[in-house]
Amino acid sequence: MQVLIIEDELRAAERLEKLIQQIDPEIHVLAILESVEESIRWFRTNEQPELIFLDIHLSDGLSFNIFSETDVNCPVIFTTAYDEYALRAFDLNSIDYLLKPIDKAKLEKSLEKFDKRVKNEKNSELNTDLIQLLSKIKKQTNVFRTRFLISKNDSFLIIPSGEIAYFYSEDKLTFIKTKENKRYILDESLDSLMESLDPKQFFRINRQLIISIHSIKSIESYFNYKLKLEVNPPAPQLNTVISRSKTLEFKEWVKNG
């Protein structure tokens, strides 16, 4: 059997691969993928595996984005750090899950469940159920981006969401500005970012700028009932004016989160 591991923690992925081979040496791990972006590229250029071991929260986003961008038609066993209460929805589905750190005996049972219940089901039905289930998990657990994977020269950098002052667009590019006044290019639009950011921490004040609550230095009245923000780090080149139509929503966000 050919399987795929999608996991952004290398040690966890290597341990899972070792356990799988201990249980069944005939199982072949095709690849270990670390991100949503890498997984999308893989599925677009490779044949489907028979089974995927999948972490829900990857370094560049939630793994359900893989299924919305590519045509994945194979069963999944989740490998996740979420607690059992948050994953009760799995009990109603044929898809299995394993809590980290993964126990060998439970892994063996999951593989047995795959053989008995999942292997014979229609791929199209599995894929539909999977997308619905992951969307349900996202809503139930309020999962938001906690970090961003940034490409820098020949290496990668992880930026925690808590270190970000604001996101902005300029010359058709999207940038991250950190609290330490460092700037990085991000290969995502502001529209897509708002779908994955914690709305208690981030607010899109206009088409150019998404700010963190912690970046606001001052709020001033502006003409025609608008508001103007002073942010930290300073952003003299950016439009920090909040339109009249958004001022009430912004004030509620500041007061209530």
- Backbone phi, then psi, for 179, in 5-degree steps? -60, -25
pLDDT of residue 87: 53
Q: For the full predicted model, state whether its pTM sits above 0.75.
A: no
113 with 208, same domain? no
**Are residues 55 and 155 both part of a single domain?**
no
Question: Is residue 200 domain-shared with residue 97, that is, in the same domain?
Answer: no
Helices 104-113 and 10-23, packing angle to 10 deg: 70
Same domain, 208 and 95: no
According to the model, what pLDDT value does residue 229 have? 96
My answer on whether 90 and 132 are in the same domain is yes
- Tell me which of 73, 106, 141 is where a domain ends: 141
Domain identity same for 236 and 174: yes
Q: DSSP letter for 114, please.
A: I
What does the pLDDT read at residue 129?
A: 58
- Of 3, 34, 36, which Cα lies nearest the Cα of 17? 3
Instruction: Please provide residue 166's backbone torsions phi and psi, each rounded to the nearest 5 degrees.
Output: -165, 160
Q: For position 182, which CATH number holds?
A: 2.40.50.1020
pLDDT score for 86? 47
Residues 226, 172 share a domain: yes
Question: Residue 45's domain spans which residues?
Answer: 2-141
Looking at the structure of the chain, the number of domains it has is 2
Do 201 and 92 belong to one domain? no
Q: Render each residue's pLDDT in the chain as its tens digit; 257 residues.
A: 999 999 988 888 999 999 999 999 999 999 999 988 899 999 999 999 999 998 877 877 777 778 777 878 788 888 876 655 445 445 434 467 787 888 899 999 989 888 876 656 655 455 555 656 655 555 555 567 888 988 878 788 999 999 999 999 998 899 999 999 999 999 888 888 887 888 889 999 999 999 999 999 999 999 888 999 999 999 999 999 998 888 989 999 998 76
Please check whether residues 87 and 167 belong to one and the same domain.
no
Per DSSP, the residues of 26-93 read T-EEEEEE-SHHHHHHHHHHSPPPSEEEE-SEETTEETHHHHHHS---S-EEEEE---TGGGGGGGGS
Report yes or no: 131 and 67 within 8 Å, Cβ to Cβ.
yes
CATH number, position 55:
3.40.50.2300
Which amino acid type is present at position 87?
Answer: L
Within this chain, do residues 101 and 208 fall inside the same structural domain, yes or no?
no
State the pLDDT at residue 85.
40
| Contact by Cβ (8 Å): 127, 193 | no
